[in-house]
A and B are shown apart, each in its own frame.
Chain A
């Protein structure tokens, strides 16, 4: 034994590369936070209420947000974007922008865990842990400079999401969604990875910095391996962002997953997929622009049209929102299709505002589901919502109109900017198609937005008794109106943190829609790559 030790000690020491932990601090905070939540819940489970684990999770997200803001100020001061961890991870404004975005989404999602998820006390910490872990994977995807690190981030994000979708006990829809998501997600990961392998074979490296310098210095003629690799990476990430023709999992999964998880998935998984797509294609494969820009354009056109048209014929609210989310992915793709720094900035602004809107929208859907006492609501169920809960009806309408791109919301500027970027890059036909698709989309958005204010006398009366609590009926409210008011008050006091989340989302959407300068400025400055 001592002989072995002596030999090891006398050999040349292993040189460890310097690790700049502060550069990946947001990821580390998320992972450590997730472990802490898990440990607390398993060591002192009896004393941990739902609210405690939620509070710890929210605190972790806030700390991570604060750290990303600190990193942002730091990089604004020194100005330099750089590669850290032996060139595997980038610390640039782009990555920091996404750190902040993912922290915000995680914070909003965690706050929904107590009231909108059907979980018992021991499962809430698991929900929090998975949300935090998934977020750390998304952060890694946004900052990865190496395709393998990107793959690891993708899997950390996805595997946690598969479990999150199925986390509710007794929710068969959630399980079915989860397995569909898992199979197609696994397939897309494998395709993505094969693409990485082919890129590695064609360029000799998986590092984006080395790939881009290789592509700059060598003119590859008729390189099928490189093209196949790029195509497969596009397919793999296309699944994550649910771009047509890789969208078919999205409606089923969005519909079956618990509403807060759907919102989280629509925001985080989509933003992470786009972060990776923008970085890999706009930064890594920029020298081969002429190869991928037409393909991205075709994908954008299909996504824009199919998403809008299929959304029109849906009856289920969450399914409609899923197709709407596909439609929005088409708009965000326009920014990449423009292949200009302006386009990237427009995409980033779109992602930031859309993430807040969609988390708020699905939180509202979850709260409406709870109010109506059923899982999965049809569009017709929205009729008369303004009588039952004016707050939910108002928030729902604002968040839906923001997705439609109504003026005075962030959605308008988001859509305007990406279309403008496409026009500036002289892609007139696609810009025109985007506007047509926005017009088609307005149809189903308005249908959903108007219904809550239509009178729905029959529906609301038949609903009222079922929502009564035992004490309400024991108290014996004589008039139906009184009883209804009481049940409303009960709902409102119980969904407190939900109200905060929805209120925040609505406030951000409207305030930043009117006072838009700072965020657009931020998004435009975040496009600087290494």
Chain B
């Protein structure tokens, strides 16, 4: 039995939407950050699926670039999160309220 490529595309679209949803409705910075990673991995799945469907290796090499970039983003992101929440008890986005208007 072969799974048609469109199923993977639908799955990755769902994962991406879940990530976006989580990004907007969750208030904990770390969970928001995880949602971001979920979105990036959904993109990776899309690339691999298209690569397979098109018979083109290009899409799979893209995944490596995306993984590296995501890792670099995690390094900076976690560093920032630690820097800003070291002196606070919780890591929620609602605490970030110096600027308004």
Q: Which of B39-63 contact A (CB under 8 A)?
A: 39-40, 42-43, 46-47, 49-50, 53-54, 56, 58-59, 62
* Chain B stretch 13-70: residues in CB contact (< 8 A) with chain A: 16, 19-20, 23, 29, 32-33, 36, 39-40, 42-43, 46-47, 49-50, 53-54, 56, 58-59, 62, 65-66, 69
Assess whether B76 is interfacial by the CB under 8 Å rule.
yes
**Further 12 A-B residue pairs, CB within 8 A, beyond A162-B76, A175-B80, A189-B69:** A176-B98, A179-B29, A179-B80, A183-B36, A186-B77, A187-B23, A187-B36, A190-B39, A191-B39, A194-B42, A256-B98, A319-B99
Give the size category of A's interface with B. 35 or more
Question: What mask results when residues 301 to 344 of chain A are scored 1 for a CB within 8 Å of chain B, else 0?
Answer: 00000000000001110010000000000000000000000000
Q: Is the CB of B50 within 8 A of A200?
A: yes
B101 and A251 contact, CB distance less than 8 A: yes
Among A151-159, A290-298, A478-486, A514-522, the stretch that binds chain B is A151-159
Q: Which residues of A contact B (CB under 8 A)?
A: 148, 151-152, 155, 159, 162-163, 166, 172-173, 175-180, 182-183, 186-187, 189-191, 193-194, 197-198, 200-201, 204-206, 251-252, 255-256, 314-316, 319
CB of B84 within 8 A of chain A? yes
Enumerate 19 A-B pairs (CB-CB under 8 Å) in ascending A order: A159-B73, A179-B29, A179-B84, A179-B96, A180-B96, A183-B33, A186-B73, A186-B77, A187-B23, A189-B69, A190-B16, A190-B40, A193-B43, A194-B42, A197-B47, A201-B46, A201-B50, A204-B56, A251-B101
Q: A155-B69, A183-B36, A197-B43 are in contact. Are A206 and B62 (CB under 8 A)?
A: yes
Distance, CA A71 to CA B24, complexed state (A): 45
> Which of these, A175, A182, A191, A200, contacts B59 with CB under 8 Å?
A200
CB neighbours of B54 from chain A (8 A): 201, 204
Q: Determine whether B11 belongs to the interface, using a CB cutoff of 8 Å to chain A.
A: no
**Chain B residue at minimum C-beta to C-beta distance from A184:** B23
Residues of the B chain whose Cβ atoms lie less than 8 Å from the Cβ of A197: 43, 46-47, 50, 59, 62
A179 touches B81 (CB 8 A): yes
Does residue B83 face the partner (Cβ distance < 8 Å to A)? yes
**Residues of chain B contacted by A172 (CB below 8 angstroms):** 84, 98
Kindly list chain A residues whose C-beta atoms are within 8 Å of the C-beta of B72: 155, 159
Query: In the complex, what residue of chain A is closest to B36 when comparing beta carbons?
Result: A186
Q: A residues within 8 A CB of B32?
A: 183
Q: Which residue of A lies closest to B35 (CB)?
A: A187
* Contact yes or no, B43 A155, CB < 8 A: no
A430 CB to closest chain B CB (Å) equals 28
Question: Given the complex of chains A and B, what is the CA–CA distance between A39 and B75 in angstroms?
Answer: 21
Q: Are B76 and A182 in contact (CB under 8 A)?
A: yes
Contact B84 A176 (CB under 8 A): yes
Residue from the set A173, A178, A190, A206 with the largest chain B CB neighbour count within 10 Å: A190
Task: Report whether A166 and B39 are in contact in the complex, using a CB–CB cutoff of 8 Å.
Answer: no
With a cutoff of 8 Å between Cβ atoms, the chain A residues found around residue B39 in the complex are 187, 190-191, 194
Inter-subunit contact A148/B62 (CB<8 Å): yes
A151 touches B40 (CB 8 A): no
In angstroms, how far is the closest chain B Cβ from the Cβ of A321?
14
Do residues B80 and A166 form an inter-chain contact, with CB atoms below 8 A?
yes
Q: Bound complex: CA of A178 vs CA of B47, how far in Å? A: 30
Shortest CB-to-CB span from B10 to chain A, Å, is 12
Question: Does A194 contact B84, Cβ atoms closer than 8 Å?
Answer: no
A205 to B81, CA, bound (A): 37
Q: Separation in Å of the A87 CB from the closest CB of chain B?
A: 12
- Assuming A155-B72, A193-B66, is B98 touching A182 (CB within 8 A)? no
A175 near B62 with CB under 8 A, answer no
Q: How far is the CA of A201 from the CA of B43 in the complex (A)?
A: 12
Nearest B-chain residue to A183, judged by Cβ: B32
A163's partner among B19, B47, B76, B96 (CB-CB below 8 A) is B76
B55 to chain A, nearest CB (A): 9
A252 to B20, CA, bound (A): 22
Contact of B65 among A148, A173, A191, A200 (CB under 8 A): A148
Q: B99 contacts which chain A residues (CB < 8 A)?
A: 173, 176-177, 251-252, 255-256, 319
> In whole angstroms, how far apart are the Cα atoms of A183 and B81 in the complex?
10
A200 to B9, CA, bound (A): 13
Pairs of residues from A and B, 7 with the lowest C-beta to C-beta distance, nearest first: A201-B50, A190-B39, A197-B46, A252-B99, A175-B84, A193-B43, A155-B69
